[in-house]
Structure 1
């Protein structure tokens, strides 16, 4: 497993430590802290009934935010439903992220220049889409990549293999992430596959695969940057398995992790917390302080307060709007339903 920063916040792999400036290191930490606050507030808003579907992200900040930090604005994201933070840092306004959670169509309308699809709910389907987007980039000669994320459960789906195989065969500029948080909802990874790692599944597709410490932001950043350079240089796609952990439930829709995870396992992974590890590293370099962190926390809280207010003020979604946005050209049965609901709304 590839690692740069150990649990004590010490560099253990100097050769591969990324060349980030002090300002970039601080920015990466700020984004991770901000994302942790966003997760905490989103859980609270969900419990208040002000958000709908929500998949907690605490524990996966290094895997999500440090990987995104190595990307460029022109790169295209194909996220899973736990990957909303990457979309926000890629340019999706926060209030629209909240609207996505509430099931409002405007939450899925990406602003001009924000290169991302909506979060994929179908497990693994984003891998096939990523292969297609990456091939399109190659055909157009774009020097950018398609980046997709799934969890360990996604590797049990056919789309996972089909997407990688297609991208590998055509050397499409794609980066495939598997965020291995050990459980596909409640099913442990050892019951999903006989493979020793998920990274080695890259071998069958003829592409490079790496297992990385997903609680180590420097390692995740370094391997993502390397994979991106390979892709834009025409060397083909890369599969990256990040060994990580979600501290909360799978989603807020009734999952109880205490039924399938032990206190000992939780405690073991809490010691590897990516924020604690990175904070320790930056403090030793004189780049982080309690005051800096409080500033980020306060900014996040204010942004979230304004964003949820804006999301709540959005006009209520109509059934006609839902139908209108389902297809570019509606099939006959939906045309009939649309006419029926338009008549109802006009009364």
Structure 2
């Protein structure tokens, strides 16, 4: 049995296209992307890094509520999202707001989500997604159901869901991938292994050498990808999507990545469980720096272009937070009306009381 396990583990070598110097090390796996596609991916990563910096500042100013930093995970998040079609359905975790934004969620609504405002959870027409899941791993079983729905309808679309390495320790994770495998759901499960579930290192969560190998028990495809390499993430997701719509079943993708900031802005202190050496090692793998080097080697990117994206992001964040500020505040009666189509008799009296208070 030990040899069997070792043989399984040896099958999950990390898939990579660009090394840390931005050099192509797997020419055969290079995705078919135009120069404009490559530049657009870079624009999105730079924009998202600035959005993260501004969101952290807004949180510290008390202008945002719950916020989970994303710096370091741009390649994992945006490389996978860029591989999707508009018809695909995203079921994100709470760190996965960038994917929703690039799928079509207006930025001001992302800010309203952070504030707990109901309008931040209302996806615009044509944006196939649900609001970010706060309960760890719950979106995984939901994605299996959405993916099965696409299969039954014979639609050319998939469900894609995201969680962290901590989510892969939840019962919902195993139930979701097992159900998806058993019924051939058109789904892709992305586990962004940023090395720590809040503060618990991944090697304390599981004896398995990789999260990707857990696909074997569910009878589905599994792959471990360099999550700091946006081209590798894109290529793996694109192939997984095609397999799903072709009827070849779901895929589990483990992206090896790192969050540079705290788990959330709600008091987490990563210096208590991460070393400076670890932070430094991962900073050398920065997905934006790596991709910048690649594009510069092809004369596709410049400092001037990057500065334009940075200024655009700053201006759009400023406009979006202003729009969020101008959105009428959520009322208690809003909460009750959104919860119930018909108000229960035991709440009707409270509803009338709050309605009177809010009218003054």
After TM superposition, the structure 1 = structure 2 runs for residues 144-155 of structure 1, keeping only pairs within 5 Å, are: 144-155=157-168
Of 147, 154, 167, 1:141 maps to: 154
Q: Distance in 1 between matches of 2:341 and 2:30?
A: 47
Confirm or deny that 1:242 pairs with 2:255: yes
Partner of 1:6: 19
Partner of 1:274: 287
Report the 3-state secondary structure (helix = DSSP H, G, I; strand = E; otherwise coil) of the residue aligned with 2:166: helix
Between 325-334 and 130-139, report the one with greater CA deviation.
325-334
Residues 209-260 of structure 1 deviation map (CA, whole Å, 9 limit, x = unaligned) = 0000000001000000000000000111000000000000000000000000
Between 326-335 and 224-233, report the one with greater CA deviation.
326-335
Deviation for aligned residue 1:335: 4.5
After TM superposition, the structure 1 = structure 2 runs for residues 160-179 of structure 1, keeping only pairs within 5 Å, are: 160-179=173-192
Q: Distance in 1 between matches of 2:171 and 2:350?
A: 34
Report the 3-state secondary structure (helix = DSSP H, G, I; strand = E; otherwise coil) of the residue aligned with 1:120: coil
Deviation for aligned residue 1:135: 1.0
Q: For structure 1, which runs of at least 5 residues remain unmatched after alignment?
A: none
Q: Number of residue pairs matched? A: 347
Partner of 1:188: 201
After TM superposition, the structure 1 = structure 2 runs for residues 258-297 of structure 1, keeping only pairs within 5 Å, are: 258-297=271-310
Partner of 2:351: 338
Q: Distance in 1 between matches of 2:127 and 2:104?
A: 6
Q: Distance in 2 between matches of 1:197 and 1:93?
A: 36
TM-score by length of 1: 0.98
Q: Distance in 2 between matches of 1:138 and 1:336?
A: 46
Of 14, 34, 42, 1:21 maps to: 34
Q: Distance in 1 between matches of 2:348 and 2:231?
A: 52
Pair 9,299 (structure 1): closer, same or farther in 2 beyond 3 Å: same
Give RMSD over aligned pairs. Answer: 1.1
Deviation for aligned residue 1:339: 3.5
Confirm or deny that 1:59 pairs with 2:67: no
Confirm or deny that 1:199 pairs with 2:212: yes
Q: For structure 2, which runs of at least 5 residues remain unmatched after alignment?
A: 1-13
Partner of 1:83: 96
Q: Distance in 1 between matches of 2:220 and 2:341?
A: 36
Deviation for aligned residue 1:333: 4.3
TM-score by length of 2: 0.94
Report the 3-state secondary structure (helix = DSSP H, G, I; strand = E; otherwise coil) of the residue aligned with 1:255: coil
Deviation for aligned residue 1:327: 4.4
Aligned structure 1 segments of 4 or more residues deviating by more than 6 angstroms: none
Q: Distance in 2 between matches of 1:329 and 1:201?
A: 45
